[in-house]
A and B are shown apart, each in its own frame.
Chain A
C-alpha cells in the first residue's frame, strides 16, 4: 500500500524566511505525488505534482518540490515566505488505478511578520 508521512504538524517561519515542509512516501511502485494547500474553511488547491518526469517540480505561488527516490522524499520548499502562505499543506500519493488520493495528516504553516 502506498502512503505518505508529513513530519511536523506545525511549522513556524518569519516572513521572508525559507519554507521547508517535509513529506516522505512509501510505495512499491513509482508514485505519483502531490502537494495541496488548504486555507481555512476552504477546499484543497493543487500546488504541484510529480508524475515521473522532472524530479524538480515547480508549482504555483513560488513553491517547488524535489522528488528524491534514494530518500523516498518529496519535500516542499519556497525561498521566501509571505504572510499569505499561512495555510495547511497536504502531501498526497495516488493509491489506485482510479487515481484516488491518500493524504498525509497535514502541516500547518504559520508565518510571522
Chain B
C-alpha cells in the first residue's frame, strides 16, 4: 500500500465552476477525514466518515460543499460555484479505529485548489 492518495494534486478553476477531488485512503482504514489548509494556517477539519457514513461536518462546510464515500472506500469532495475564498490545500487523511480507539491519521499529499 502506498498510503493515502489524492487526485488531482493541483487544480486551477475559474470562479463559478464546480470542482471535484478524490481521495483513496489506506485500504484497511475505516475512517476518512477531509481538512482544508489556507496559507499560513494549520489544517481545519471539514468532515469525517466512518465507513460510508458521514458522521461529522464542520460549520466550515457550506452548502456548496458536499462529500461522499460510497461503499466506504474512496471519497470525493465537490465544491459547487467556486469562490476565490475556496483557494486552499485540501487534505485527506485516513485511520483505523473503533470508538475512541484510533490509529494515527495518515495524510495524503493534498490537492491545491486555485480559483481565479
Contact = CB atoms under 8 A, between A and B. Distances in A.
A99 B105 contact: yes
Contact of A99 (B6, B102, B110): B102
B104 interface: yes
A7 interface: no
A101 B56 CA distance: 12
Contacts of A49: 104
Interface residues of A, number: 24
B65 interface: no
A98 B46 CA distance: 13
Given A43-B108, A43-B110, A44-B91, A100 B43 contact: no
A93 to B, nearest CB: 11
Interface in A41-66: 41-46, 49
Contacts of A96: 56
A51 to B, nearest CB: 10
B100 interface: yes
B14 to A, nearest CB: 22
A103 B44 contact: yes
5 contacts: A43-B6, A99-B31, A100-B33, A102-B45, A105-B42
Q: What 6 A-B pairs are tightest by C-beta distance, nearest first?
A: A103-B42, A43-B107, A99-B102, A44-B107, A43-B109, A100-B45
